[in-house]
């Protein structure tokens, strides 16, 4: 009887509030009758906890992660149905927002529901009769972290959001249900407070790898805390006067209007603490340590490049601080069709391609941008050249391609598949006789239908495990967890925060150089001093900022960081508005005709695109919600 009355009250509240919780935010707890069952014993409570993990954004899905939101990857229009890509194409709107995490639509999961579920878990887990004390501590910590992460996912996209510190009671009034957005500083402060509460209750490392990999550890929580603090300190959220008129009902700006250098100091300290703790617990940059696979002795070049690829694709490697095992990347869409001997396209699609702009982001082999390398002729980058024996580990000897593909850093060759380029693995493990990608019209990876091909003439090789192989039974993929955050990311976050607070220093250089060393590059100091047309660039805060930002773009390419970085740096308009998405003339058979840049799209990004819009219906249902600026 009691449960029936409680359910009736819920129905009344929902009716009175004009279905508010269904239309903008489900904050009144539902399924009250089942709560007693969910927390009646340890096993059902543990399943509830695992459900919280499963309700987080699906990092491995291109519809939900950020890899298709900017200019990292492009698809074949109009045949590609990737929802997130519509944002990159300028189709965001208020009628039916793309990646709608507020209501749960168009590639977005309705994140207020799992946030509410985290509250429910935290309110009830202490009632479980047979739970062990250490389990209560750990499970509560995990739920707090998950809630914090979900809130971060929201604030990073929407700016001010309702925080939902606790669930509203079932007899909540109409006004209580119609919650308001909160200033971003208050949201970030609450998120960091949750993580600080969670960290002491989390294990340092995962003890039972067979069953627990992917669950939150102290290392993961500390690394994400650093990332969140760096985000809060960044120009989009720190003293952003562009939002001076974006105010709440008390006329208080949602975004603080005074820049605070102290936020960078706090972020740098958190990042350094996370780095030190990660090192203490055995985390280190991943290197390919085996110079021989089977009977083949590998070149130093191949070993370096396998280390770069393996930092992402080697399952649970030493560099991974937090990986998402539930969202496995579908590598079929990244793999060129040419590795399928039957050309059936049933197994391989290879239909996402990085634009030319991304290709030019990678450094020369001297470790500086190709535009400013004194020894690299940028003006001749589209001229043709023939590879010789010295290029054989990267480009097929005797093959004609563009100079853009020569004398580039190892991360370029590890990350990018291109016409005439080596693609180590996929069943061939002798790097003196690898697969070479052939991408022109009529060649194995070239266009033979309207959909399954790269629109730019490039492929994101880094995201494809080198041991994947086409067999008679199909395409065998070596799955790996999505790298939500890895040590190289944390190193660069620390370098960024420390530089923003105190300017260039030996320690800032140290952590950038650790990432560069794995790629086989000289130090920042040596590269710029000896090869750059701006040899003093690394000595100023502004110059080093530019270096760190390009380093992040290169190191983390295709890992869904670029769009968030461009927005938090307030560089998205510079980079994306009027940005020309281009690739090669892929319908051509001859090199001279193929290697002509072809415009695929011209992007639009205006100030309103920095924040996700709320749907018009959300505003109608709850007038207390202020629309994001410009929408």
Band the pLDDT of 341: cuts 50, 70, 90: low
- In SS3 terms, 540-585 reads as CHHHHHHHHHHHHHHHCCCCCCHHHHHHHCCCHHHHHCCCEEEECC
Whether pLDDT at 264 is above 90:
yes
Strands 422-423 and 400-402: unpaired
* Residue of higher predicted confidence among 177 and 166: 166
Instruction: Give per-residue pLDDT as tens, 103-160.
Output: 999 999 999 999 999 999 999 999 999 999 999 999 999 999 999 999 999 999 999 9
pLDDT for the residue 346: 60
CA dist., res. 577 & res. 571, Å (int): 10
- In SS3 terms, 356-402 reads as HHHHHHCEECCCCECCCECCCCHHHCCCEEECCHHHCCCECCCCEEE
Mean pLDDT score, 470-479: 86
Angle at 481 between CA 477 and CA 484, to 5 degrees: 140
- Centre a 10 Å sphere on the Cβ of residue 145 and count the other Cβ atoms it contains: 27
Mean pLDDT score, 373-384: 98
pLDDT for the residue 327: 65
pLDDT for the residue 388: 98
Band the pLDDT of 273: cuts 50, 70, 90: very high
Whether pLDDT at 457 is above 90:
yes
Instruction: Give per-residue pLDDT as tens, 170-194.
Output: 777 777 788 999 999 999 999 999 9
Instruction: Give per-residue pLDDT as tens, 212-256.
Output: 989 999 999 999 999 999 999 999 999 999 999 999 999 999 999
pLDDT for the residue 301: 97
CA dist., res. 521 & res. 327, Å (int): 33
Counting residues of the chain whose pLDDT is more than 90, the rounded percentage is 82
Band the pLDDT of 342: cuts 50, 70, 90: low
Token digits of residue 5: 């009355």
pLDDT for the residue 607: 98
Strands 580-583 and 598-602: antiparallel
Whether pLDDT at 445 is above 70:
yes
pLDDT for the residue 533: 98
Sign, CA torsion 310/314/319/324? positive
CA dist., res. 458 & res. 348, Å (int): 15
Band the pLDDT of 344: cuts 50, 70, 90: low
pLDDT for the residue 192: 98
Mean pLDDT score, 393-416: 98
Name which of 21, 188, 33, 221 is nearest 112 in CA terms: 21
Q: How far is CA 363 from CA 53, 292, 407, 516, 521, in A?
A: 38, 28, 9, 11, 10
Whether pLDDT at 279 is above 50:
yes
Tell me the three state secondary structure of residue 537: helix
Instruction: Give per-residue pLDDT as tens, 7-59.
Output: 333 332 333 233 333 333 333 445 545 777 889 999 999 999 999 999 999 89
Instruction: Give per-residue pLDDT as tens, 413-433.
Output: 999 999 999 999 999 999 999
Query: Between the CA atoms of 564, 570, 575 and 576, what dihedral angle is there, to the nearest 10 degrees?
Result: 70
pLDDT for the residue 473: 78
Q: Which residues sit opposite 542 in a β-bridge?
A: none
pLDDT for the residue 25: 36
Counting residues of the chain whose pLDDT is more than 70, the rounded percentage is 93
Across the chain, mean pLDDT equals 92
């Amino acid at each position: 009887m009691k449960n029936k009355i409680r359910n009736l009250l819920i129905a009344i509240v929902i009716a009175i509030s004009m279905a508010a919780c269904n239309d903008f935010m489900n904050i009144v707890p539902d399924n009250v009758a089942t709560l007693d069952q969910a927390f009646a014993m340890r096993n059902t409570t543990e399943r509830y906890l695992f459900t919280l993990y499963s309700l987080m954004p699906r990092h491995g899905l291109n519809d939900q992660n950020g890899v298709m939101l900017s200019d990292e990857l492009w698809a074949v229009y109009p045949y590609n149905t990737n929802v997130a890509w519509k944002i990159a194409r300028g189709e965001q709107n208020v009628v039916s927002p793309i990646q709608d995490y507020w209501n749960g639509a168009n590639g977005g999961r309705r994140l207020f529901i799992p946030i509410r579920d985290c509250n429910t878990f935290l309110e009830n887990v202490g009632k479980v009769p047979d739970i062990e004390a250490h389990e209560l501590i750990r499970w509560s910590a995990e739920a707090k972290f998950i809630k914090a992460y979900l809130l971060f996912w929201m604030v990073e996209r929407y700016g001010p959001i309702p925080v939902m510190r606790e669930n509203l009671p079932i007899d909540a009034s109409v006004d209580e249900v119609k919650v308001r957005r909160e200033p971003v500083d208050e949201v970030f402060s609450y998120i960091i407070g949750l993580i600080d509460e969670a960290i002491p209750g989390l294990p340092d490392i995962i003890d039972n790898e067979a069953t627990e990999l992917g669950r939150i550890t102290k290392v993961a929580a500390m690394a994400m805390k650093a990332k969140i603090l760096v985000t809060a300190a960044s120009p989009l959220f720190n003293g952003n006067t562009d939002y001076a008129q974006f105010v709440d009902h008390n006329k208080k700006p949602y975004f603080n209007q005074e820049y605070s250098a102290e936020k960078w100091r706090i972020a740098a300290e958190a990042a350094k603490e996370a780095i030190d703790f990660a090192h203490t617990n055995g985390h280190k940059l991943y290197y390919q340590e085996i110079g021989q696979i089977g009977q083949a002795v590998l070149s130093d070049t191949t070993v370096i490049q396998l280390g770069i690829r393996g930092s992402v694709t080697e399952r649970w490697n030493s560099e991974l601080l937090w990986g998402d095992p539930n969202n496995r990347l579908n590598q079929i869409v990244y793999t060129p069709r040419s590795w399928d001997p039957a050309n059936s396209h049933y197994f391989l699609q290879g239909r996402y391609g990085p634009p030319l702009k991304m290709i030019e982001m990678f450094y020369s082999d001297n470790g500086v941008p190709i535009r400013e390398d004194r020894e690299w002729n940028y003006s001749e980058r589209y001229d043709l050249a023939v590879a010789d024996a010295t290029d054989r580990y990267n480009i097929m000897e005797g093959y004609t391609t563009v100079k853009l593909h020569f004398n580039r850093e190892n991360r370029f060759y590890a990350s990018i598949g291109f016409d005439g380029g080596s693609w180590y693995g996929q069943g061939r493990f002798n790097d003196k006789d690898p697969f070479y990608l052939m991408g022109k019209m009529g060649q194995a990876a070239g266009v033979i239908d309207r959909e399954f091909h790269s629109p730019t003439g490039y492929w994101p090789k880094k995201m494809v495990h080198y041991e994947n192989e086409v067999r008679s039974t199909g395409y065998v993929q070596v799955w790996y967890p999505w790298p939500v955050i890895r040590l190289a990311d944390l190193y660069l976050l620390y370098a960024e925060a420390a530089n923003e607070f105190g300017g260039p220093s030996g320690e800032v250089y140290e952590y950038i150089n650790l990432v560069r060393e794995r790629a086989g590059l000289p130090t920042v100091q040596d590269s710029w001093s000896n090869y750059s047309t701006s040899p003093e660039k690394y000595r100023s805060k502004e110059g080093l900022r530019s270096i760190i930002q390009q380093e992040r773009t290169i190191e983390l390419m295709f890992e869904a960081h670029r769009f968030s970085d461009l927005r938090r740096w307030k560089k998205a308009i510079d980079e994306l508005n009027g940005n020309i998405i281009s690739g090669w003339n892929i319908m051509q058979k001859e090199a001279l005709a193929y290697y002509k840049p072809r415009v695929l799209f011209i992007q639009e990004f205006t100030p309103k695109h920095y924040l996700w819009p709320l749907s018009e219906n959300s505003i109608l249902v709850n007038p207390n919600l202020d629309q994001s600026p410009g929408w």
